[in-house]
Amino acid sequence: MKAAVFDAFGEPSHVLKARDVPTPTPGPGQVRARMIASPVNPSDLLVVQGLYGVLPTLPSIPGFEGVGVVDQVGPGLLGRLVKGKRVAVINSAGGNWAEYAVIPARQARPIPDDIPDEQAAAFFVNPATVLALARHVLRVPKGAWLLQGAAGSTLGRMIIKLGRHDGFKTLNVVRRAEAVPELKALGGDAVIASSDGPIEDQVRAITGGAGVRYAIDPVGGATGMGLFRSLDEGGRLVLYGTLSGEPIPVDPRLVISGRRTIKGFWLGHWMRERSIPASLLLFREIASLIRQNVLSSEIGRSYRLDQIQAAVHEAGEVGHKGKILVRPG
């Protein structure tokens, strides 16, 4: 089969190459999916750069999520239940940027027919993280402010739409002032640009001086610090990404006497703590909220496997539009 492979960690548009590799076969408890489409997510790029929390042995094929049709199953009941079905291919080991991917049968989740391939491709990673952060980790109450960095990301836009749906207010931080009107039109209650001055001053002007009790940040560095300084006493900041690659300098007094907290979130860890019924409920909620255009992704250009270098180059560009898809078919 054809796959996007890298033999060394490095700049994705340099080290990724499309080439022929052996087609995998499913073992016990596994299924094989013929891949239809897979998004280029920041986590995929971090793996290729050698900067992710868990790294594969090389050579390796990236791609943590996507949509495909189960064409072969190994021994086991779960696999037989999904044979021939279109499924979300949740591949915690990576490997979806290929014509075929083998995953545990329990990670092949059937997708309702009315959800198009483009949305099914990005069914899991961002939607599940949005629900986990807003409804389970922070439990943002109706009427409260949720402050977020990188608000123009695919995930940030879902947070804005979920705020409208669930009744919390979003205070959105972007790095480019050009992105402000678009996010206001999407439903952001307030949108500020980090280029317009200290984040904490802008936040306090909007919230009437107190700051916010809930914040999430995937950027780190000066943005993460600005979000942390924008917390009210007792406020909580959840870190869930490393887009800037920079550490967050924290004033210990705000943590010690100000009772502000910082905590990390990783979807893989969070999912492992969910029961099977809770996971099934999560999938049903995601499908329903994609139909309501709350957890739908804005989709950008699609690329074939032999265009992988162009795909990852565009996904890494400042201000690129929509989720880039790899279409192995």
Ligand X SMILES: NC(=O)c1ccc[n+]([C@@H]2O[C@H](COP(=O)([O-])OP(=O)(O)OC[C@H]3O[C@@H](n4cnc5c(N)ncnc54)[C@H](OP(=O)(O)O)[C@@H]3O)[C@@H](O)[C@H]2O)c1
CA distance linking residue 211 with residue 5, whole number of Å: 46
Q: Which stretch binds ligand X (CB under 6 A): 39-47, 135-143, 180-188, 304-312?
A: 39-47
Q: What is the C-alpha radius of gyration for the chain, rounded to an integer number of angstroms?
A: 20
DSSP 3-state of 158: helix
Least distance (Å) from ligand X to the CB of residue 31? 24
Under the binding rule (CB under 6 A), the answer on residue 214 touching ligand X is no
Least distance (Å) from ligand X to the CB of residue 131? 11
Identify the residue among 87, 150, 203, 282 touching ligand X (CB under 6 A): 150
Under the binding rule (CB under 6 A), the answer on residue 74 touching ligand X is no
30 vs 107, beta carbon nearer ligand X: 107
Q: Taking CB under 6 A as the criterion, which residues in 231-270 touch ligand X?
A: 240-241, 243-244, 265-267
Please report how many Cα atoms fall inside a 13 Å half-sphere around the Cα of residue 291, on the Cβ side. Answer: 11
Least distance (Å) from ligand X to the CB of residue 321? 9
Instruction: Of 290, 276, 278, give the one whose Cα is nearest residue 111.
Output: 290
14 vs 176, beta carbon nearer ligand X: 176
DSSP 3-state of 23: coil
Identify the residue among 2, 86, 161, 175 touching ligand X (CB under 6 A): 175
Under the binding rule (CB under 6 A), the answer on residue 273 touching ligand X is no
Q: Which helix (H) or strand (E) holds 236?
A: strand 231-239
DSSP 3-state of 227: helix
Under the binding rule (CB under 6 A), the answer on residue 60 touching ligand X is no
Q: Which helix (H) or strand (E) holds 4?
A: strand 2-6
Q: Which helix (H) or strand (E) holds 73?
A: strand 67-73
Residues that bind ligand X (CB under 6 A): 41-43, 125-126, 129, 150, 152-155, 175-176, 179, 218-219, 223, 240-241, 243-244, 265-267, 318-319, 323
